[in-house]
A = this chain, B = another copy of it.
Amino acid sequence: MNLFSKEIMHVGEMASGAKLTVPVYRLKAKDVPEPKGNAKKKVSSVYIQANMHGAEVQGNAVIYQLLELLKSVKVLGDITLVPYANPVGCNHKNGEYTLGRFDPITGMNWNRMYHFDTEIIKPFVQECIGKDDATIEANFKALMIDTIEQKLDHNIFGLTTGQRMAYQLQRLAHQADLVLDLHTGPISSKHLYCPEYAQESAKYFDIPHTLFIPNEFDGALDEATFCPWWHLQEAFSDLGIEFSISSKALNKESFTVELGSQEQIDLDVALEDAKSILNYLQYKGVIESTEFQPKEMIRYGCYLKDYKAFYSPMGGMVDYLAEFGQPLAAGEPLARILRMDNYDYDQNSDKSSSLHYLSLDHEVIPILHFASASVNQGTELYKVFTKYFTF
């Protein structure tokens, strides 16, 4: 049976002095194969985190199932698992629900606080000329970690609550090659955020819908960990130097895995999702097992720019109609909105004046919808794939 270690990371402090802590579980590779001949085969390390948004708890159950499954699997690369990544968001209730999407004091989205400054790329590349890939990789990793540590420890004006948490998590994530940030939608089907260059890897998750994201940093953990490497690759490329982060030797990938709906724990579904993640780790050579194979399925892709939020054109109470994950023809209703403030008999039609059907004029795939039936004019009602494709 594989052994794991556990640490408690201290990420902040509340008004009462209560410590904010995060548990960090680590499995050390113990079955790393002997390299044969010259082939120096590198095994990737993995960082998996869950519950950065307070209500998105299912990732904790997936980490539970991963730990259970990893007991008896051959582990070739180091794996770090961090459930309850955000102890403020996780415990913050307003009414029965968990208000954990943003800092309740400032409104800042907890998953937009990570750090990356593209300014570090150019000077670094200058220093790299003539060095081998392994050295470049090691140096760049050291630079990223050092940058974060500078921000954590050397700022006389301090850091926000969210930055202090995010930077400590990011410091752990930078130490790994592969990063999985486990989230959920509000009420949602499973879907995957994948950098455009890692499309092949997306096929190893048992998740039929994938968003492909460009090399633009917007503060999230996946971007904070793959964008630096992708920018580095591009900077070398501009100089005519090949430095492929998708190569077996470097192998840098980050995903945000959306596990379904928030405010739910389902340990049985979590087991399926843990296996899906092990499919990917098996593909990447982090574990060695014949057990984990991706399911056959139609895989839909969509570029981030074509992933559209549909905001409610009116206030009201919503009966959500569209099925997730399947193409919805133009004109078919996404939802109907009830407005009992102005009920009237409409004698010329089957439909009352207090029921409004909402549809779009082109085909989409609905991926998720708002968590509540009550919406204001302008509330994000649905998110949908437009211009989707199969891959």
Contacts and interface: CB of A to CB of B under 8 A. Distances in A.
B84 A315 contact: no
B339 A17 contact: yes
A311 interface: yes
17 contacts: A15-B376, A16-B91, A17-B342, A54-B374, A60-B317, A64-B338, A64-B340, A64-B343, A95-B105, A96-B105, A97-B371, A102-B106, A161-B376, A163-B378, A263-B371, A265-B317, A265-B318
B338 A267 contact: yes
Interface string A49-66: 000001101001101100
Interface of A: 1, 4, 6, 12-18, 20-21, 23, 25, 54-55, 57, 60-61, 63-64, 67-68, 71, 83-84, 87-88, 90-109, 156-164, 186, 263-267, 308-319, 336, 338-345, 347, 352, 354-355, 360-361, 370-380
B372 A315 contact: no
B343 A25 contact: yes
Contacts of A344: 6
A266 to B, nearest CB: 6
Given A157-B308, A377-B164, A317 B61 contact: yes
Q: Is the interface of A mostly helix, strand, loop or mixed?
A: loop
A90 B16 contact: yes
A321 to B, nearest CB: 10
A98 B374 contact: yes
Nearest 4 pairs between A and B by C-beta? A161-B378, A158-B311, A102-B107, A13-B315
A345 B72 CA distance: 12
